[in-house]
Amino acid sequence: MARKSTSNPQPPIGEVLRTRRVEILKKGLREMARLLVIAPAHLTDIEKGRRTPSEALLLRISTQYGIDVAELRSGWSRADAVVSEIATQDATTAEKVPEFLRTARELTPAQWDRLIGQAQRMASGKGGKSEK
């Protein structure tokens, strides 16, 4: 997914949902709300940015709208639950994860892939240089 940029700001996620629902999926508000198993008023509030969905609803929205979960999480500034779980698992990670994320903030997708590959090798004990 492309990073947000100040020169080409992304529309709010609710606007993205409404546009996709109307123009691409050709579904009315009530029909989509029924597919999502929510009240039409709830969907209106989500599209207007007055509410954010629960985790379960976020996943249903991803499926019904055909939008990647990562794009939805980014649009709602909502990390996957595993991020919080890992970042608070012990004192070391509570200290290091925020520092790591600040450092990695501007990585490209290819750089993220290389970093993830390195972390996987380190976690499996095949990271190359020994840790001290």
Decide if pLDDT at 127 tops 90: no
Decide if pLDDT at 93 tops 80: yes
Quote the CA–CA distance of 19 and 103 in Å, as a whole number: 35
**Could you tell me if 17 and 47 are in contact, meaning their C-beta atoms sit under 8 angstroms apart?**
yes
* Comparison of pLDDT for 71 and 127, the residue scoring more: 71
**Could you tell me if 42 and 51 are in contact, meaning their C-beta atoms sit under 8 angstroms apart?**
yes
Quote the CA–CA distance of 99 and 120 in Å, as a whole number: 19
Q: Which two tokens stand for residue 99?
A: 């520092």
Give me the pLDDT at residue 129, please: 58
Percent of the chain with pLDDT over 90: 74
Give me the pLDDT at residue 84, please: 84
Q: What angle do CA 42, 76, 15 make, to 5 degrees?
A: 60
Give me the pLDDT at residue 45, please: 97
Four-residue CA torsion sign, 9, 15, 18, 22: negative
3-state SS class at 105: coil
Q: Report which residue type is found at 127.
A: G
91-102 average pLDDT score: 91
Fold of the domain spanning 13-75: 434 Repressor (Amino-terminal Domain) (1.10.260)
Quote the CA–CA distance of 58 and 65 in Å, as a whole number: 10
Decide if pLDDT at 118 tops 90: yes
Q: Count the residues in the chain.
A: 132
Per domain, the residue ranges of the chain are 13-75, 81-123
Decide if pLDDT at 14 tops 70: yes
Give me the pLDDT at residue 80, please: 84
